[in-house]
Amino acid sequence: MTMAGRCERLRGDVRCSTPLDEQGSCVTCAAEAEGLTLLTRSGFASVREMHAMLEENDLDAAMERVPPGRPEEAAQPLWNLYVPRDDAGRAVELLRGDWAELLDAPDAASAAARGQAGIDLDAGGEVSCPACGHRFTVSRDQAECPECGLSLGAPADAAPDEAAS
């Protein structure tokens, strides 16, 4: 598979960096030209969950598969989540509120501790998934939670928005 490169357009103070499709077009910039605002880019499960929550709150959300920027994204693609430009503020507040409620949940401290603990993929062995707590055997070749699908890996292998954090 040949990767087509990344978008170089500036969106405010940030370079877009969305992988280009086979025609050399940027799906993110095309959506913004249609009046949509990108809220996030992540795996299908988390984007679908946020999409459903926005729709439950009467927001017209849209999700779109992002062209693969790395070979592994052909099998596990990233997805963009959009809302109309005029609804972006409300959408962001709803998503922040959802996270705030989650952080007040009784299991939030243990989930945060799991997320802070490092996982040595080279060492292998049994680990607890940082997202859901499921225990499973991990290796460099099998670094995905069988329960929730979280893909574990080094920041260099992360999506551009995740690698920056």
Query: In the chain, where are the structural domains located?
Result: 1-86, 106-156
- Separation CA 114–CA 29 (nearest Å): 36
Q: What is the pLDDT of residue 138?
A: 82
User: Which residues lie across from 83 on neighbouring strands?
Assistant: 37
CB 73 within 8 A of CB 24: no
Q: What percent of the chain has pLDDT over 70?
A: 76
Tell me the pLDDT of the chain averaged across its residues. 82
pTM for the full model? 0.62
